[in-house]
Structure 1
């Protein structure tokens, strides 16, 4: 029997509710599919920062290296500068562990209605592949005399051939397993150096996948088509910033940000990958037991798929859909189900 070692980082806010709920689902899947989960909890996040001045210990990354994957809730508290969580935890892990693929599926579950009129689960089913280590989020910049009338600030985006090629190969290989279409979402008509280069390298990679159709779409047009024609998309390949925005928009057309799961993936498995819901820590509802656990449960399914437990992952997603088809909805979706109640429903459907 296989055993997978998981580092569990609930983080802050609702992370302490959605992670335990999702873990119960993963445990049920492990029992059904005959594998073990061995996990260790870490109290890292903004709460730790308030107490000790750091989101994680100095040797935190070395500690995480020993695990097969990291299961993460959300990070951030209102009392902590909101520029710090990404810098001192999320980006730090993603970069150190070369998690250059941010995998964010968008799927309208049967049993739910999208905010988009007349769009069904057939039209809303795609994946956003966001470059996760470079681009606009490298935080290379500075303030120059910010208090003066001539003050200015800079942020420099960085795009490398290696960085573009590796995420592009992942996207094309994924498309080969789906509907064989990649949409490069870009803005190279105005960012005429960085994203012109991005486009060119993606086109070169695309030539190695003649069975996959490659289309280019500017970010403004893509944003409109998320609303008007989500059926246009299969695999979206885009930059760090654009992917961050589009994947939240994807959560919106699914019905709630609470539904979105994601993986920060190191495809080569040289380092552990990290899996987390797309939403934040929502401290305003923390402790009330009403947070939507679906994004976290789905992230757990993506984690299992990454580890090779594809059957278990698929059945977890099917079980989520079954619960929705039974008419059970969380409060953010207009229902009454609480966090633990919904997770229990998923476990029941999984074991049916």
Structure 2
């Protein structure tokens, strides 16, 4: 029986509730499969890390994550941290930078039983995760912002061939397994050097994948096209900030940002992390919807299966996804989806369907 060590960072707000739901589902699915064991390693992050180490992302947590096969990260509420800690990278940004998790992969797919405002859609956004206009992670030392006078601030965007090439390759490889179409999103008409380099390098990489159709759109036009004809798109590749904004849009278009999954990955590490926040207003009420983080864990398991050439892990991932979709289609829904199920009841509904 293969054993995989998975880190668990419960996080803030609704994090402990939805992350526990995910661990419960993965545990049940692995036991039912009888082929794979998941060993969960719980580590402090967010307010838990602050209370124990005065650090929302303690070095001890990062050291322990190095010894895992990957991890599940609950949401953090960095806006509520003490002022001196807000000046540091937030926990997810710190892990993305520390482990060079350069690919943020965010799918948006319609689900039976969930109302979509764009009809059927099945696309995935490959967002470059380490530079661009995110000034907290695009410098070797310090951050990419300068206050010239009390009334003037300069924020830098960074674009490198290395970073663009690797996210482009990830996107084109994904397209080969899907509908063989990649859309490059940029703003090269205005940001001619930075965004222009992104566009040019993506096109160069695309030439290595002759079976994949390639097109490109300016970011503003792309937002409009997604609202009008989301189903025409397959794989979208873009820089950090554009990807962050577009993936929130697509998540909401196909149902709700609260359902949107994602993983952050490098060539040998991956972190499952839902696209939504910590929702402190409903924390502790047992009403939060864990769909986003459970589907993020499914994505992580698929990544793990590919990394270790283990089809049994992929089968567990498919079983979990099918169990979740079946629960929703049969009316097991949390309050945000118009249902009455608590977080616990929703989780139990998935596990019950896994047993079928």
- In structure 2, runs of 5+ residues without a counterpart are 306-312
User: Equivalent of 1:350, from 344, 348, 354?
Assistant: 354
Instruction: Give the superposition deviation at 1:78.
Output: 5.0
Check the 8 A contact 1:50/1:80 in 2, yes or no.
Answer: no
Secondary structure of the equivalent of 1:135?
A: coil
- Aligned counterpart, 1:294: 291
RMSD: 1.7
Per-residue CA deviations over 1:189-234 (Å, capped at 9, x if unaligned) read 1111101010000000000000000110111111112211111110
Instruction: Give the superposition deviation at 1:85.
Output: 8.7
Instruction: Give the superposition deviation at 1:47.
Output: 4.7
Q: Distance in 2 between matches of 1:78 and 1:297?
A: 24
Residue range with higher mean Cα deviation, 66-75 or 312-321: 312-321
Check the 8 A contact 2:6/2:41 in 1, yes or no.
Answer: yes
Higher strand content, 1 or 2 = 1
Per-residue CA deviations over 1:139-189 (Å, capped at 9, x if unaligned) read 41122232xxxx211211111111000110010000000000001111111
Check the 8 A contact 1:75/1:85 in 2, yes or no.
Answer: no
Q: Distance in 1 between matches of 2:91 and 2:322?
A: 32
Residue range with higher mean Cα deviation, 95-104 or 42-51: 42-51
- Aligned counterpart, 1:153: 153
Residue range with higher mean Cα deviation, 195-204 or 48-57: 48-57
Per-residue CA deviations over 1:33-76 (Å, capped at 9, x if unaligned) read 32011111112114533664311223432221011111101011
Q: Distance in 2 between matches of 1:6 and 1:279?
A: 21
Q: 1:1-352 alignment to 2 at 5 Å?
A: 1-33=1-33, 34-49=35-50, 52-76=53-77, 78-80=79-81, 84=86, 87-116=89-118, 119=119, 123-137=120-134, 138=138, 139-146=143-150, 151-266=151-266, 268-269=267-268, 272-308=269-305, 309-352=313-356
Q: Distance in 1 between matches of 2:114 and 2:58?
A: 42
Q: Size of the alignment, in residue pairs? A: 340
Secondary structure of the equivalent of 1:261?
A: coil
Q: TM-score, normalised by structure 2?
A: 0.91
Residues 49/142 of structure 1: CA separation in 2 closer, same or farther (3 Å cut) = farther
- Aligned counterpart, 2:308: none
Q: Distance in 1 between matches of 2:88 and 2:256?
A: 22
Q: Distance in 2 between matches of 1:210 and 1:231?
A: 23
- In structure 1, runs of 5+ residues without a counterpart are none
Q: Distance in 2 between matches of 1:85 and 1:36?
A: 39
Q: Distance in 2 between matches of 1:283 and 1:145?
A: 36
